Structure 1
Amino acid sequence: MNSLLEAIAMVSTVEVAIAILASAVYGMVIGALPGLTATMATALLVPITFYLSPIAAVATIITSSAMAIFSGDIPGCLMRIPGTPASAAYTDESYAMTRKGQAELALGASLWFSAIGGIVGTVALMVMAPALAEIALSFSTFEYFWLSLLGLMCATLVARSSPIKAIAAALLGLLVACVGIENPGGVPRFTFGNTDLLGGIEPLPALVGVFAVSEIMRAMVSPLPPPIPSRKFGSILAGQIDLTRRFQKQMWRGNIIGVLIGALPGAGADMAAWVAYATSKRFSKTPEKFGTGHPEGLVESGAANNSALAGGWVPALLFGIPGDTITAIAIGVLYMKGLNPGPTLFTEKASSMYALYIVFILANLLMLPLGILMIRVSRHVLKVPRAVAMPLILLLCAVGAFAIGNNPFAVVLVAVFGIVGYMMERNGYPVAALVLGVVMGTMVEQNLVSSLIKSDGDILPFIERPISTGLAALTMTALLWPVAVWIIRRLRSPERAR
């Protein structure tokens, strides 16, 4: 009880209050700009944390990342341009709702279930941290290989088009992930003598290109597109209680998926959102509605990405192992402020830990009013003529790509992927599967090669370990599911003919 009272006193200072509010507004704005990620938002705050107290410094990281993960849903919903990679899994779904005149319902669902997911993730962090960390530490490269491959197989489940086309798009993404020397062999591949390709192709230029630039190209060739309903938004949270009742199982399943995947080092909110959306479609009673503006997948994946954010702090606080890129930055700040991660942090500095829990809860509660305000400001985007909006969006895409590493070549990549995305969509190939291949490709390859080196080329360890066996079964099911569906349809077709 004394530790809790000390924690409340530590958070109840003017410095911490200003840090939370300022970083919340900052995270909202950065996340809503296409091409600027939550990782970039937190990284840019590191120099400022030098001058803050320990709790205020960590509070800026927690608050800005939570806000940026949510606000990345706003441009995805209004313009089909995901603000952060975690939003890409359900961008098509939310944009379809906007075109049906349900923009406030889609954005309200993103806001409401993101806040709930963040709070549930925080409670899980408080209650189950040691157990979750133990599970995370039991994962080796064998389990990570199957987990990343399972994430890749989600391409066949999230696709609205033919599963064969989804697999082809994912394979193209894997080919893109092969570019560069960032592979276990350290051998340049597909660089064609271009030094800019030696470092590989970052997922962000691919994501911005296939979603944003391809949308701009569609606007250019379609002079009279169907207008998006432009009106004053009603109550942003209206209908969310009804959605919570209708999709209560999906919400809790998304929270659990987010916490568990977030607790795995290197997984993060991006993988959690993809897996949750694919799971929602797989177990839905109406999978044919996905991609047409159906909120079911939006509820589950929206809950997953923010709960994964809190789950990522489990290995970070207990063992100093980053759960994702954001917690990797946070670990550096923790060490800098004398809050060295480890089991002793929970005993020797229990008041500081309670303070961090309070900050997590405050950040997710603050997300609701600030999110509503941000959504109401963003609605004016729908009123901007496309002839004005599209050049501005293209400029934002170029600036965001350049800002990744101050590299002009990233702008060229965005343009190339824009053309690729446009051609793929014209021919019915899902661009989301391409992005998934780019994101997961490196993880699949590195864990496969590392595992084979460990086992001296023996494949039995991939299926001998208990967790690895379970993940292998799930992956094979996802891989063979389209084949099984095709066979069942072929068997049924003669019966229909009779």
Structure 2
Amino acid sequence: MSTVLEALRMVAAPDVVLAILLSSIYGLVVGCLPGLSATMATALLVPVTFYLSPIAAIATIISASAMAIFSGDIPGTLLRIPGTPASAAYTDEAYAMTRKGRPELALGICLWFSAIGGIAGTISLVAMAPLLAEIAFSFSTYEYFWLGIMGLMCATLVARSSPVKAIASMLLGLLISCVGMENPGGVPRFTFGLTDLLGGIEAVPALVGAFAVSEVMRALLQPEPPKLAHRRFGSILAGQIALTKQYWKQMTRGNVIGIIIGVLPGAGADMAAWVSYAMAKKFSKEPQKFGTGHPEGLVEAGASNNASLASGWVPSLLFGIPGDTITAIAIGVLYMKGLNPGPTLFTERASSMYALYIIFLIANIIMIPLGIMMIRGTSHVMRAPRAAIMPVVLVCAAVGSFATGNNLSAVLIVAAFGIIGYVLEANGYPVAGMVLGIVMGSMVEQSFVTSLIKSDGSILPFFDRPVSAILAAMTFAALLWPVAIWLWGRPKAAKRAQPA
């Protein structure tokens, strides 16, 4: 009890309270800007942490990242331009709800269930850290390969177009992820002699171009905006309790998926959002409504991405292994402030750990009032003419992409993917599938090649390890299930077609 009281005293310090408030506002603003991801929001705070106390420094990282993950949903909902990669999984769903005149409902779902997911992830961090870490350490490159393949299958599950076009779009994304020399062989691929392509094509510029710039191009050809409600937003949280009761299974499943995926090093909120949205559609009683402004997928994916954010700290705190890019930055700050990750951190610095838990809870609780204020502020976007909005979007896309690596080539990549995204959408190929291939491609390839090197070219370890065998069975079952349904339905369809 004394440890908890000491942790409360540490969090109540004026500098910590101020750090939580200011970094929360900062995270909301940065996450809302296309191209400036939650990772970048966190990275830009590192120089500031030099001058803060250890608890205040960690508080800035936690608060800014949690807010940025949610805030990325705002431009995705209002403009179909995801602010962060985690928002891309359900951007079309949220934007469809906006086109139906219910933007406040979509944003309310994203806000409410993001906060619930963050709290659930924090509880998992407190209660199940050793168990979750053990799960994470049971995963090797063999398991990560199957996990990546299952993630890529989400492209077909979340697509509204034909599965063939969804797979083609995903394969294009995989091809793009091959660019550069950051591959197991260290050999330049598809660089065409351009040094700017040696580092590969980053996911953020590709995502910004495919969604933001292509949306600007569509606006040029369709100058008349849809008749969205040029009115003030209603209550942001109206109906959220009813949705919580209606979709509690989806919310719980999203929390569990987010917690498990967050623990796995290198996975993070992006994969959690994709997998959860795909699972929601797979097990829904109304899958035909997905992509038309149906809240079910938003509930599950929104709960999942913020749950993964908190659980991603488990391997970071216990073993110093980053769960994602945000916790990789956080580990550096922990070492810098003398809070060296490891099991002893939970015994020798227990009060600091409880302070971290409390900060997570506070950040997700204050996300609701601050998120409402942010949504109210950005609601003016709905009333502004598109001729004024789109140039600002282009500027934000260019500046945000340039800031990812201080490289002008990123701006050119944004422009190129704007054209690619526009052409894909115009021909019915889902852009989300391509983005998923870019995000997941490197992980799948690295895991596959590394596994083959370890097994001396044998594929048996992909199937004879218990966890790997289960994931492989799940993957093949998901692949063959639609075929089985089709074959099962053919005789019945033929029988119905016969004349009486």
TM-score by length of 2: 0.98
Shift of 1:415: 1.0
Q: How many residues align?
A: 498
Shift of 1:497: 2.0
Amino acid corresponding to residue 428 of structure 1 in structure 2: G
Give SS of 2:223's match: coil
In the other structure, the counterpart of 1:76 is 76
The alignment status of 1:449 with 2:449, answered yes or no, reads yes
The alignment status of 1:134 with 2:134, answered yes or no, reads yes
Distance in 1 (CA, whole Å) between partners of 2:213 and 2:490 is: 39
Distance in 2 (CA, whole Å) between partners of 1:41 and 1:49 is: 13
Give SS of 1:414's match: helix
In the other structure, the counterpart of 1:332 is 332
Amino acid corresponding to residue 266 of structure 2 in structure 1: G
* Contact 1:261-1:267 within 8 A present in 2 as well: yes
The alignment status of 1:279 with 2:318, answered yes or no, reads no
* Matched ranges for 1:372-411 at <5 A: 372-411=372-411
Amino acid corresponding to residue 476 of structure 1 in structure 2: F
The alignment status of 1:178 with 2:178, answered yes or no, reads yes
| Structure 1 residue ranges without an equivalent (≥5) | none
What do residues 202-228 of structure 1 show as CA deviations (whole Å, max 9, x unaligned)? 011111111111111111111334222
Distance in 1 (CA, whole Å) between partners of 2:30 and 2:362 is: 20
Distance in 1 (CA, whole Å) between partners of 2:491 and 2:433 is: 28
The alignment status of 1:495 with 2:495, answered yes or no, reads yes
In the other structure, the counterpart of 2:440 is 440
* Contact 2:225-2:386 within 8 A present in 1 as well: no
What do residues 386-429 of structure 1 show as CA deviations (whole Å, max 9, x unaligned)? 11111111111111111110111111111111111111111111
Shift of 1:493: 3.5
Distance in 1 (CA, whole Å) between partners of 2:384 and 2:37 is: 24
Distance in 1 (CA, whole Å) between partners of 2:223 and 2:313 is: 48
In the other structure, the counterpart of 2:295 is 295
In the other structure, the counterpart of 1:308 is 308
Amino acid corresponding to residue 129 of structure 2 in structure 1: A
Shift of 1:477: 2.4
The alignment status of 1:323 with 2:323, answered yes or no, reads yes
Amino acid corresponding to residue 81 of structure 1 in structure 2: I
Distance in 1 (CA, whole Å) between partners of 2:119 and 2:278 is: 23
Identity percentage of aligned residues:
72
Distance in 2 (CA, whole Å) between partners of 1:292 and 1:488 is: 29
* Contact 2:158-2:278 within 8 A present in 1 as well: yes
Shift of 1:288: 0.4
In the other structure, the counterpart of 2:429 is 429
Alignment root-mean-square deviation, CA = 1.0
* Matched ranges for 1:106-145 at <5 A: 106-145=106-145
Distance in 1 (CA, whole Å) between partners of 2:161 and 2:201 is: 26
In the other structure, the counterpart of 1:240 is 240
In the other structure, the counterpart of 2:191 is 191
The alignment status of 1:16 with 2:16, answered yes or no, reads yes
What do residues 173-200 of structure 1 show as CA deviations (whole Å, max 9, x unaligned)? 0000011101001111111111111110
Shift of 1:346: 0.5
In the other structure, the counterpart of 1:365 is 365
Give SS of 2:396's match: helix
In the other structure, the counterpart of 1:42 is 42
Amino acid corresponding to residue 424 of structure 1 in structure 2: L
* Contact 1:156-1:482 within 8 A present in 2 as well: no
Distance in 2 (CA, whole Å) between partners of 1:25 and 1:168 is: 40
Distance in 2 (CA, whole Å) between partners of 1:427 and 1:381 is: 29
Amino acid corresponding to residue 298 of structure 2 in structure 1: L
Distance in 2 (CA, whole Å) between partners of 1:437 and 1:496 is: 40
Distance in 1 (CA, whole Å) between partners of 2:182 and 2:423 is: 28
Distance in 2 (CA, whole Å) between partners of 1:66 and 1:479 is: 34
The list of structure 1 runs, each at least 4 consecutive aligned residues, that deviate by more than 3 angstroms after superposition, is: 481-493
Give SS of 1:218's match: helix
Distance in 2 (CA, whole Å) between partners of 1:438 and 1:227 is: 34
* Contact 2:274-2:301 within 8 A present in 1 as well: yes
Distance in 2 (CA, whole Å) between partners of 1:211 and 1:219 is: 12
In the other structure, the counterpart of 1:152 is 152
TM-score by length of 1: 0.99
Distance in 1 (CA, whole Å) between partners of 2:12 and 2:225 is: 52
* Matched ranges for 1:406-421 at <5 A: 406-421=406-421
Q: Decide whether aligned partners of structure 1 residues 492 and 418 sit closer, same or farther in structure 2, where only a CA change above 3 A counts.
A: farther
* Contact 1:163-1:482 within 8 A present in 2 as well: no
| Structure 2 residue ranges without an equivalent (≥5) | none
* Contact 1:154-1:478 within 8 A present in 2 as well: no
In the other structure, the counterpart of 1:255 is 255
Distance in 2 (CA, whole Å) between partners of 1:259 and 1:78 is: 28
* Contact 1:11-1:359 within 8 A present in 2 as well: yes
Distance in 2 (CA, whole Å) between partners of 1:435 and 1:480 is: 24
The alignment status of 1:342 with 2:342, answered yes or no, reads yes
Amino acid corresponding to residue 350 of structure 2 in structure 1: A
In the other structure, the counterpart of 1:227 is 227
Greater CA drift, 388-397 or 239-248? 388-397
Amino acid corresponding to residue 152 of structure 1 in structure 2: L
Shift of 1:164: 0.8
What do residues 409-456 of structure 1 show as CA deviations (whole Å, max 9, x unaligned)? 111111111111111111111110000000000000000000000000
